[in-house]
C-alpha cells in the first residue's frame, strides 16, 4: 500500500504523525505490478503496420455492427502507469461528468487549474466552430457528428506524474488520510489511451457502443453481455493476473469456513448471470427452486424466511433451514434520514425555540415503529449521521442522542423520550398543541419523490406522527426531477434523504452537515443547509486527522452540537439480509467492497442435485387434469348426440 510522504512549505520531510496545518504537500508514490494485462478488446487490435484496426470505421463497415461483439479482432496490452495519470486528467475534462471533481480539486495539485484551462479551450473550440459554420450552426448536432476530443498528453498536471513505466506519483496540496480510499474507487481506475480513442468515434456512439456500456479493465471478469432490461452476463477474464485466495482473515473466519480455499487461484466461477425479475414473488419462487443462487428478502416473503428469536435476533425459519439455506446479516454503512431546511423561517434557524421545535418533531417521528411497520425490523434507529463500523460511532449509553433518548439502566438499552415530553418542548418553542401565538395551526410542507407502490402508506405515517403534536404536515409529492429542483432551490421545509458511505471514514458522513457543503448556497450534499460555525471549525480540524483518541473527542463534540441543533430527524441505519443456498461458498458481507465476486465458489453438483430433487415432475395433477378434461369432452359429445337424436 502506498504510504504518503509529508513535506512542509520549504520542502522538508515531516513525520507521518505531523499535524495537518504543517503539511504543504502529501506525496503518494504508487507502484503497479508488471504482470497485469487488460482483457482482450477491439480497441487494442492493430493492422500489420501497427495502427489501430477499428479507429476509422467507414459507413459501410458500421452497417452490420450492433454491439462490441460484432468486432471480431481482439488484442490486449499490459497495464502501465500512464493509464492511471490519463484517468486523473480525464476527471478535469468538462465533457466528462465527474461528480467528485469539486472534492478532488481541493486536494490534487493543479487539478483545479487544469479544469479551468480545459474549459477555456472548450469555449474557444466551440467559438471557432460556430464562426466557421455561420448563423445556422447547431452545436449539439455538430458535436454529435464530430465529437470534441481533448489530447490529454498536451496538458500538464503537476499533481499526477508518470515516474516510470510502472510507477506514478500523486501530489496533494494538504494532508488527507482518506485519500487512500479514493485510490480504490472507480474514479481512479486506469484508462488506456487506445480505449478512449476507440470509443470517441461518432459512428460507434450512434450505435450506442460506448465506454459506459462496454467497459475495459484488468479485473477477474469481463462484460460479456449488457442488456439491463433482461440480463447482464460476466465471464472470467482469461488475461487476469495471478491472484490467490487469502490465507488469513479476521477472528472467526477459519471456524466459519472462510479460509477453506486458502491459496487457490481466483476467480472460482467462470460465468455470472444477473437476471432482471420485475416481480418479487416469481424471483423468490425461483430462488426456492434453486434456479437462483442467492436472494434478498422482500416484505412479501419475509415471514416465510425469517423469524426473531428470544433475544430479538433474526433467525431463518425451519422451512428455509431444511433446504440448507444460510442467512447473512450486516448493518449497512448507510444513514436514511429526514431533515429540515435550515434556511426556512419556520423550521430553520438556530434559536433555542427553533431547536426545541425540531427536537419535538424528532421525538414524535418514532423510527422504532417505522422499522417494524415498513422494514420488518431490518434496521436500527440512528443517533447521529455515523453508522456502525464507522470511526466515531459509539455504542451504549455514551452514544445515544440525549435530546431524543434516555438510557434505561436496568435493560441497558436506549428509550425514546415520551410524547408528553415532546409536547412540552412544543410549548417552549411557542407552539402549544401545534398552534402559534395567534392560535393558527402550524403547517409544514413535506417534499418527496415517493411515487412508487406502498409509498402512500409511508406518507400517511409521517402525517400521523406530526399530527400527534398538532402539526399539519402538507404532502408535496412530485417526480424526482422536480424534487431535485426544489432541493437545489431551497423551496421546501421538510424532506427525506439518505447517504451511503463512499469510504469508511466519519468525514464522509459529517461533511453532510458542513456549512460550505450547503445544497442551496454551494451546490453540495448538505441538503438541510445546516450552518453552525463551531461545527464547521471542528470539522476543519477533524477532517484531515488520522483516527486517534483526539479525533474521537472532536467528533463527539461535533455530534453533540448537531444533535442539539437537530437539523435532521436522525432516521435509521438499514440492516441487510441475504439468503444463500448451501452450494454457495465464501459469502461474507462487506458493503464497502466491490470485488467479492471473485471469492465466491459454487458446488455445481450439489446445486444440480437440489434442483432435481426440488423440481420433480408431478404427474398425478397432470393425469387428474387430463381425466377431468376428457370427462368434460365426453360428456359434451354425449349431450350433443342426445340433442340431435
Residue 269 is assigned to a structural domain of this protein: no
Task: Mark the ranges of the chain whose per-residue pLDDT is less than 70.
Answer: 310-311, 619, 643-645
What are the grid coordinates assigned to 450, written together? Answer: 415517493
Give yes or no: residues 527 and 643 share one domain: no
∠ Cα 317 320 322 (to 5°): 105
Strand bridging mode 494-500 / 326-331: unpaired
Strands 568-580 and 584-585: unpaired
* Torsion angle, alpha carbons of 623, 628, 631, 633, to 10: -100
Does residue 41 lie within any of the structural domains? yes
Query: Do 539 and 440 have their domain in common?
Result: yes
Residues 369 and 442 both lie in one domain: yes
Asked if 339 and 329 count as a contact pair (C-beta separation under 8 A), the reply is no
The runs of H, that is alpha helices, within 434-479 are 455-467
Query: CATH number for the domain including 421?
Result: 3.10.105.10
Say yes or no: 30 and 152 in one domain: yes
Count the residues in the chain. Answer: 645
Q: Does a structural domain hold residue 137? A: yes
Q: Which helix (H) or strand (E) holds 614?
A: helix 604-614
Residue 367 belongs to some domain of the structure: yes
What pLDDT, on a 0 to 100 scale, did the predictor assign at position 310?
67
Instruction: Identify whether residues 363 and 482 lie together within a single domain.
Output: yes
Mark whether 486 and 412 lie in a shared domain: yes
Strands in 231-236's sheet, in edge-to-edge order, are: 221-227, 231-236, 271-275
Is-cis flag, bond preceding 593, omega within 30? no
Residue 553, helix vs strand vs coil: helix
Domain that residue 635 falls in:
621-645
* Burial group, residue 642, by CB count within 10 angstroms (0-12, 13-18, 19+): exposed
Report which secondary-structure segment, H or E, holds 329. Answer: strand 326-331
Distance CA 89, CA 150 (A): 10
pLDDT value, residue 311: 64
Q: Rounded to 5 degrees, what are φ and ψ at 109? A: -60, 120
In terms of DSSP bridges, do strands 443-448 and 494-500 run parallel, antiparallel, or are they unpaired?
Answer: parallel
Q: How many domains does the chain have?
A: 3
For residue 266, how many other CB atoms are within 10 A of its CB? Answer: 21
Q: Indicate whether 253 belongs to any domain.
A: no
Q: Select from 219, 252, 287 the last residue of a domain.
A: 219
Among 219, 249, 266, residue at a domain's last position: 219
- The answer on 629 and 508 residing in a single domain is no
Rounded alpha-carbon distances, angstroms, from residue 474 to 161, 242, 357: 55, 59, 17
Which CATH number is 138's domain given? 3.90.76.10
Side-chain-facing half-sphere of 523: CA atoms under 13 Å:
5
70 and 156 inside one domain: yes
Contact (Cβ atoms closer than 8 angstroms) between residue 477 and residue 458? no
The pLDDT, as a whole number, for residue 645 is: 58
- Contact criterion met (CB below 8 Å) for 179 and 26: yes
Residue 286 and residue 614 in contact, taking contact as beta carbons nearer than 8 Å: no
CB-based contact 591:333 (threshold 8 Å): yes
Q: Is residue 38 part of a domain?
A: yes
Residue 102 and residue 212 in one domain: yes
DSSP string, 4-26: PEEE-TTS-EE-TT--GGG-SEE
Helix (H, G, I), strand (E, B) or coil at 370: helix
Last residue of one domain, picked from the residues 161, 195, 219:
219
Cα–Cα nearest to 577, from 375, 386, 274: 375
Q: For 383-511, where are the alpha helices, taking DSSP H only?
A: 419-428, 455-467, 480-489, 507-510
Cβ–Cβ < 8 Å for 241, 35: yes
Distance CA 509, CA 505 (A): 8
Claim to verify: residue 212 and residue 355 sit in the same structural domain: no
- The helix/strand/coil state of 440 is coil
- Are residues 571 and 636 located together in one domain of the fold? no
The span from the CA of 84 to the CA of 191, in Å, is: 6
CA distance 34 to 166: 7
Question: How far is Cα 214 from Cα 68, in angstroms, rounded to an integer?
Answer: 7
Cell of 383: 443517533
Q: Is residue 452 part of a domain?
A: yes
The region, left, alpha or beta by phi > 0 then psi within -120 to 50, assigned to residue 217 is: beta
Strand partners, 576: 330
Whether residue 88 contacts residue 186, with contact meaning beta carbons closer than 8 Å, is answered with: no
SS (H, E, C) 255-295: CCCCCCCCCCECCCCCEEEEECCCCHHHHHHHHHCCCCCEE
C-alpha–C-alpha distance, residues 157 and 106, integer Å: 14
Tell which residue, 376, 378, 375, 380, has the closest CA to residue 303.
Answer: 376
Asked if 467 and 396 sit in the same domain, the reply is: yes
Amino acid at each position: 500500500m502506498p504510504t504518503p510522504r509529508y513535506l512542509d512549505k520549504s520542502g522538508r520531510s515531516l513525520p507521518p504523525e505531523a499535524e495537518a496545518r504543517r503539511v504543504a504537500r502529501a506525496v503518494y508514490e504508487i507502484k503497479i505490478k508488471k504482470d497485469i494485462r487488460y482483457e482482450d478488446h477491439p480497441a487494442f487490435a492493430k493492422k500489420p503496420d501497427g495502427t489501430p484496426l477499428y479507429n476509422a470505421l467507414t459507413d459501410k463497415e458500421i452497417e452490420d455492427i450492433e454491439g462490441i461483439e460484432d468486432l471480431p479482432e481482439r488484442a490486449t496490452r499490459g497495464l502501465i502507469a500512464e493509464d492511471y495519470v490519463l484517468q486523473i486528467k480525464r476527471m478535469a475534462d468538462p465533457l466528462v461528468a465527474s461528480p467528485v471533481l469539486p472534492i478532488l480539486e481541493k486536494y490534487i495539485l493543479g487539478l483545479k487549474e487544469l479544469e479551468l484551462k480545459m474549459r477555456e479551450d472548450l469555449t474557444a473550440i466551440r467559438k471557432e466552430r460556430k464562426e466557421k459554420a455561420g448563423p445556422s450552426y447547431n452545436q449539439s448536432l455538430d458535436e454529435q457528428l464530430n465529437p470534441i476530443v481533448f489530447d490529454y498528453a498536451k496538458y500538464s498536471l503537476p499533481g499526477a506524474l508518470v515516474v516510470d513505466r510502472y510507477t506514478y506519483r500523486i501530489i496533494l496540496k494538504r494532508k488527507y488520510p482518506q485519500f487512500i480510499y479514493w485510490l480504490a474507487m472507480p474514479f481512479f481506475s486506469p484508462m488506456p489511451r487506445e480505449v478512449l480513442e476507440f470509443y470517441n468515434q461518432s459512428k460507434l456512439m450512434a450505435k450506442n457502443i460506448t465506454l459506459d456500456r462496454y467497459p475495459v479493465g484488468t479485473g477477474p471478469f469481463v462484460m460479456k453481455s449488457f442488456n439491463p432490461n433482461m440480463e447482464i452476463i460476466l465471464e472470467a477474464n482469461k488475461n487476469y493476473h495471478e491472484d490467490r485466495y487469502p490465507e488469513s482473515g479476521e477472528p472467526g473466519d477459519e471456524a466459519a469456513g472462510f479460509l477453506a480455499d486458502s491459496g487457490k487461484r481466483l476467480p472460482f466461477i467462470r460465468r455470472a448471470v444477473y437476471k432482471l425479475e420485475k416481480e418479487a414473488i416469481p424471483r423468490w419462487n425461483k430462488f426456492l427452486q434453486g434456479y437462483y443462487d442467492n436472494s434478498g428478502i422482500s416484505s412479501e416473503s419475509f415471514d416465510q424466511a425469517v423469524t426473531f428469536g428470544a433475544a430479538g435476533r433474526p433467525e431463518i425459519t425451519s422451512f428455509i433451514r431444511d433446504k440448507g439455506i444460510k442467512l447473512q446479516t450486516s448493518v449497512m454503512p448507510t444513514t436514511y434520514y429526514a431533515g429540515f431546511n435550515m434556511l426556512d423561517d419556520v423550521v430553520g434557524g438556530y434559536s433555542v425555540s427553533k431547536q426545541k421545535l425540531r427536537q419535538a418533531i424528532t421525538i414524535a417521528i418514532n423510527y422504532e415503529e417505522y422499522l417494524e411497520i415498513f422494514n420488518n425490523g431490518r434496521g436500527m434507529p440512528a443517533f447521529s449521521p455515523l453508522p456502525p463500523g464507522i470511526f466515531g460511532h459509539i455504542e451504549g449509553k455514551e452514544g445515544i442522542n440525549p435530546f431524543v433518548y434516555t438510557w434505561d439502566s436496568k435493560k441497558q438499552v436506549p428509550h425514546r423520550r415520551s410524547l408528553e415530553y415532546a409536547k412540552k418542548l412544543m410549548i417552549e418553542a411557542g407552539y402549544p398543541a401545534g398552534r402559534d401565538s395567534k392560535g393558527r395551526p402550524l403547517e409544514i410542507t413535506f417534499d418527496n419523490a415517493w411515487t412508487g407502490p406502498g409509498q402512500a402508506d409511508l406518507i400517511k405515517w409521517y402525517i400521523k406522527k406530526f399530527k400527534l403534536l398538532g402539526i399539519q404536515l402538507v404532502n408535496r409529492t412530485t417526480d424526482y426531477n422536480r424534487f431535485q429542483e426544489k432541493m437545489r432551490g431551497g423551496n421546501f421545509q421538510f424532506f427525506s434523504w439518505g447517504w451511503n458511505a463512499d469510504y469508511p471514514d466519519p468525514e464522509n458522513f459529517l461533511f453532510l452537515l458542513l456549512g460550505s457543503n450547503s445544497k442551496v448556497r454551494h451546490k453540495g450534499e448538505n441538503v438541510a443547509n445546516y450552518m453552525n460555525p463551531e461545527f464547521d471549525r471542528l470539522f476543519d480540524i477533524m477532517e484531515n486527522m488520522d483516527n486517534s483518541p483526539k479525533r474521537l473527542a472532536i467528533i463527539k463534540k461535533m455530534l453533540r452540537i448537531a444533535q442539539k441543533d437537530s437539523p435532521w430527524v436522525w432516521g435509521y441505519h438499514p440492516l441487510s439480509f441475504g439468503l444463500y443456498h448451501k452450494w454457495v461458498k465464501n459469502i461474507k458481507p462487506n458493503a464497502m467492497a466491490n470485488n467479492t465476486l471473485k471469492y465466491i465458489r459454487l458446488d455445481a453438483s450439489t446445486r444440480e442435485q437440489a434442483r432435481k430433487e426440488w423440481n420433480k415432475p408431478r404427474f398425478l395433477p397432470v393425469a387428474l387434469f387430463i381425466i377431468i378434461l376428457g370427462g368434460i369432452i365426453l360428456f359434451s359429445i354425449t349431450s350433443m348426440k342426445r340433442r340431435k337424436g
